[in-house]
Chain A
Amino acid sequence: MLTLFAIATLVVGCAHLDEITPISPSPVGQRPTDFGLGPGVRPLSSGPGDKGSPGWSPSGERLAFVVDGYVVEKRTNESKARRQTTQDFGAKRVAWMTSGERLTILAQGSSPSDDPLQSVYRADLDDSLSVNKLASEVVAMSPITGGDGLLVASQTSPSSSQLAVIGPNGSIRAYGDVIEGDITAISVVPDGDRAIVAVRRLDPEQNFEILSFSFAENRFRTVTSLRQDLQIFGAPQWTENGIYYVAGEETVSSKEVSPDYNLYRLAPGSNRPDLAPGVGEDFVASSLKRNSKGDLLAVVGRRNSSSPANLYVLNPDVGEFVAATTNENMEIKTEAKDLAWSSDDRRVAIVARTMISEPRVYDVQADTLVSDFYNVYEVPIDKIAGEDPS
């Protein structure tokens, strides 16, 4: 009888396990409902430090970014970040290898005795802070979709550059002819068979060109040449509706008032750029990045020269251009390296901080503050883009 009673209570006692509701992970830092970028936008980092170059891991569960020249990595739902390089590393950009277990880092030494040119390093995700140097004199890099390879552009002489692929084992293979001029940015198309290259020619006219490089044919093709007074900002991005890029007149200093940079499109097969359809003639573009499929573009820019910067999503197929943030008082970083899609194309990471002109006082430690310092924010895209990738 007693045995039956005990078994019955065991069965009854375990019957409600499926009703347990998981408790959401603890949020990062201060947690107001709106961080100044609109509903649904949440911070992925907190505390002081000039963050930049965010990158999601292939699983989407981790994030790596640069803080004041060193690289950290963290789980997206935790506040604790692990440093992956020494503090004086001089990191400029970080990207995940496809395996999700290593990082590639573009860095320039921070002391005067260091090589003024950038090098590419590989870092394992551990606590050793050790890195392996893969290539030096690198001016641009881009992960290659679908493998652990990395496309880099190296300076072969003060007036020439060349593409190379760094394999998963660190082997380097040069691609294409040496280009007369400076490669300023590169991107790889979604299926990985071509690269889009921005080059500043060093001939007397010094104009920018966009080249397409075929890995199978091992050769470049000139897509277009820009007007002499225009320069390309960031890497041109390939979509099925053409190549998009940001260009504008050169300025002496990046700290000057933002001039009129426009978002251009080169339709497939065309070498005559036009203003990107759908964004509006007054739109001032700063940076753009395509998603993994190449059917959406994340664009940071302003509706007009007097409006605040926001993150927009452009669907080139239908010309739909939607604001993903509602910013009024935040400085959003405007370089392309500070813009990143998650691998599932549902989220975009941006870097921003509140503009302040007077002191702000809080009853908490600085490490828990978010909007006062440049921090990484996650912007949900799947709902505003009008489709569910799943």
Chain B
Amino acid sequence: MRGIVIWGFGSAMAFLVTAGAFLVLANLSNSLPARSVDPKPAPPNSTPPLGLELSEARLEELEKSSGQILPLTVKNAGESTFSDISLTMRVTSEDTAQPGVRYYRATIKNLAAGRSKTVQFKLDLSSTESSEEPQTPPDAPEPRTILEVQAVTPEGISAIKTAVLPL
């Protein structure tokens, strides 16, 4: 019986000492000066390993019709070759009630470090609305066209570019 009491007392003491030690440590950290939790800014000279470039001059020339050619330049700014870079171009309307989303896909097999490659996308930028059943009310503002392009490597490195067109 006495052994049980001693064992219980010892356990309680061990628990209290451990809890106390943790609280002392936690209290030490509170003495550090308070700081706002702002997101850590990117180092000034850091460049993402994968870069995308859309020609703004070409974007300005795009029209709201099919057969529009848009070059996309992919740059490997990393230190090793990327293989099987998957490119997805998504063309949507600003009108989120319009069901029409057009996808265009391409793959770059190999892109050595420091090198760039340009892929030509042939886009259909004509309206996705059915001519018989317009979804947009006549008094609604003209929806803009959105081009979203994403590049992803098998290693999970990705880059994104979005263009908003006044079309």
Interface residues of chain A, those whose CB is within 8 Å of chain B, are 2-3, 5-6, 8-10, 12-16, 19, 21, 23, 48-50, 67-70, 87-88, 110-112, 254-255, 331, 356-366, 369, 372-374
A139 to chain B, nearest CB (A): 16
Q: A8-B20, A49-B96, A356-B166 given; name 20 further pairs at CB < 8 Å.
A: A2-B13, A2-B16, A3-B13, A5-B17, A6-B17, A9-B20, A12-B23, A16-B27, A48-B96, A50-B141, A68-B98, A356-B144, A359-B56, A359-B60, A360-B164, A361-B161, A362-B161, A366-B146, A369-B162, A374-B141
- Interface pair B143/A6, CB less than 8 Å apart: no
When the two chains form the complex, which single residue of A14, A68, A111, A366 contacts B164, counting CB atoms closer than 8 Å? A366
Quick one: closest B residue to A89, CB to CB? B97
B160 at the A interface (CB under 8 A): yes
Query: Which B residues lie within 8 Å of A365 (CB)?
Result: 148, 160, 162
Chain B interface category by residue count? 35 or more
Query: Which A residues lie within 8 Å of B143 (CB)?
Result: 50
Query: Which B residues lie within 8 Å of A14 (CB)?
Result: 23
B124 at the A interface (CB under 8 A): no
Quick one: closest B residue to A112, CB to CB? B133
Given contacts A2-B16, A6-B19, A13-B23, contact A362 B97 (CB under 8 A): no
When the two chains form the complex, which single residue of B21, B30, B94, B160 contacts A48, counting CB atoms closer than 8 Å? B94
* Cα separation A15 to B164 with both chains bound (whole Å): 53
Given contacts A359-B56, A365-B148, contact A50 B162 (CB under 8 A): no
- Interface pair B23/A50, CB less than 8 Å apart: no
- Interface pair A50/B140, CB less than 8 Å apart: yes
Quick one: closest A residue to B19, CB to CB? A6
Query: Which B residues lie within 8 Å of A67 (CB)?
Result: 96-97
Quick one: closest B residue to A21, CB to CB? B34
B135 at the A interface (CB under 8 A): yes
Interface residues as binary, B112-155 with A (CB distance below 8 Å gives 1, 0 otherwise): 00000000000000000000010101011101101010000000
Query: Which B residues lie within 8 Å of A23 (CB)?
Result: 37
A48 to chain B, nearest CB (A): 5
A354 to chain B, nearest CB (A): 9
Main secondary structure of the interface of A (DSSP, over half): loop
When the two chains form the complex, which single residue of A9, A88, A255 contacts B24, counting CB atoms closer than 8 Å? A9
When the two chains form the complex, which single residue of B133, B141, B159 contacts A111, counting CB atoms closer than 8 Å? B133
Query: Which A residues lie within 8 Å of B160 (CB)?
Result: 363-365
B64 to chain A, nearest CB (A): 13
B76 at the A interface (CB under 8 A): no
Interface residues of chain B, those whose CB is within 8 Å of chain A, are 13, 16-17, 19-21, 23-24, 26-27, 30, 34, 37, 54, 56, 59-60, 62, 92-98, 133, 135, 137, 139-141, 143-144, 146, 148, 159-166
- Interface pair A361/B20, CB less than 8 Å apart: no
- Interface pair B141/A13, CB less than 8 Å apart: no
When the two chains form the complex, which single residue of A9, A70, A363, A373 contacts B23, counting CB atoms closer than 8 Å? A9
Given contacts A68-B97, A359-B163, contact A373 B144 (CB under 8 A): yes
Quick one: closest B residue to A87, CB to CB? B97
